[in-house]
Chain A
């Protein structure tokens, strides 16, 4: 395992720990009202917001929503994208044309505005938020998987399976899918990051799940209740950090399976010396 992945896993482990044990770790109930606009103190480590809720506790609970939305949407998107990609790439012809056209149409739609419209019209709950996020983001996975499958399909061992009487479904599941492992994984990890950002954007715009704590919604209130204008940095900086770090964590995870960049460099240098 290389350093990037280790770093990413450390970040994600911390966030996951916090999300799971939020009720234990939180010093206060995040919904409990108190004295507003307190600066960080030993009582409220990150201060309080406009209605006196403890911001640290809000962050802890917010990790739950952000992670759930990120991971669930990434799963849905990856499953849909990979399935369509394999079908299009393997069968080609008419199937490919239909799926590709569908992808083209979905790609042409401006995704954030569409998501905003969808969320605005649907009842704002976790499920609908995930649906809205997924509805346009499967396209790039389809594209990438499709072109890779087209390469794999032509490899001798896949052709050989056909000559040995294996069915198409069998070949797709047993021989093509495992060979897609690395790109599907990287796409999935990036999709988590993507979905978390979209969720933050939606919550920031006030389209998130009402009454539920998420990092985006903390930002939303910090902005609309003049936290940013008044310079209440303890209110708006922590969620920004949390979002950035967890996205970074997932992005770093995407380096899985690649050689350590720095180590490889060192090795090359050594080889050069020994040849000289």
Chain B
């Protein structure tokens, strides 16, 4: 469905925002990218949609249903967006136009794909979509302006709008950001309605990932650290960074020994493993050579601890 091969994205001379990321997403698979702020997750999503500013330099291959997205022209890309690949933005943002009722905006997305659909049909579909996403009084919601809805409702409306055009691949960028636990539960519920779609979701909310994902990829400071099935990730994380993240969850003892924020300076990132400064298993080799992304069974990990064994 979506093949990402050795994709690197950099802005000018600076350290790449995304370096050599590869993943292959099967039809109906739910891939979740986990990583902290600044690890390059969102940039990767925008790179897939070709919505990065002109200063961005994207290398590698991105193939969607066999067609290369990077070779597509602006006009062709515009046709792909929304109707074949849809995008759900961050939760707290005002992704809806404040001047139009919610229902009207969803109808617009429906009609963008299916231009022949009648007004009544489009409206019926919009109402059905809203009720699917757990709204009770759909007619009232459809006539409400975005400011009249709460954050969780807006986020669900955004998801409804994102998939309104019936795209087969859904990209979601931190859909739970800025929402409280109850709203997150609503969003999780909304995502569970997307069973027949392929999902590529970016988040730093591990519990959300656990609920939504079938496969997980961990990114740290622009690099892919680990890639595996969901169960494997939560039961036996391999990479030291994955282990540290899971230990920090409340149910695992809230053990947060993360040291400091990810290194931003190019000096540290230029050589060796990107995680070396925070790694409990640090050894000499880690600061000299970059570990390869080794395959271990049906999972992949980038760490010298395992690379030597493999």
Contact = CB atoms under 8 A, between A and B. Distances in A.
A167 B112 CA distance: 10
Interface string A136-163: 0000000000000000000111011011
Nearest to A160: B95
Interface string A171-206: 000110011000000000000000000000000000
Contact of A164 (B94, B99, B162): B162
Contacts of A166: 82, 112
Contacts of B158: 160
A156 B99 CA distance: 14
Interface residues of A, number: 15
Contact of B79 (A160, A165, A178): A165
B97 A167 contact: no
Interface of A: 155-157, 159-160, 162-167, 174-175, 178-179
Contacts of A162: 51, 81
Contact of B89 (A160, A178, A179): A160
A179 B96 CA distance: 13
B196 to A, nearest CB: 20
A175 B96 CA distance: 10
Q: How large is the interface on B (under 10, 10 to 19, 20 to 34, 35 or more residues)?
A: 20 to 34
Contacts of A178: 99
A164 B49 CA distance: 10
A88 B82 CA distance: 26
Interface of B: 49, 51, 78-83, 86-87, 89-90, 93-99, 108-109, 112, 158, 161-162, 165
B78 A155 contact: no
A164 B87 contact: yes
Give the residue among A155, A162, A165, A178 with the most B Cβ atoms within 10 A. Answer: A165
Contacts of B108: 174
A157 B109 CA distance: 13
Contacts of B51: 159, 162-163
Contacts of A164: 81-82, 86-87, 109, 112, 161-162, 165
A185 to B, nearest CB: 14
A164 B171 CA distance: 11
Contacts of A156: 89-90, 93-95
Contacts of B95: 156-157, 160
Contacts of A155: 94
Nearest to B173: A163
B146 to A, nearest CB: 8
Given A157-B94, A175-B97, A165 B89 contact: no
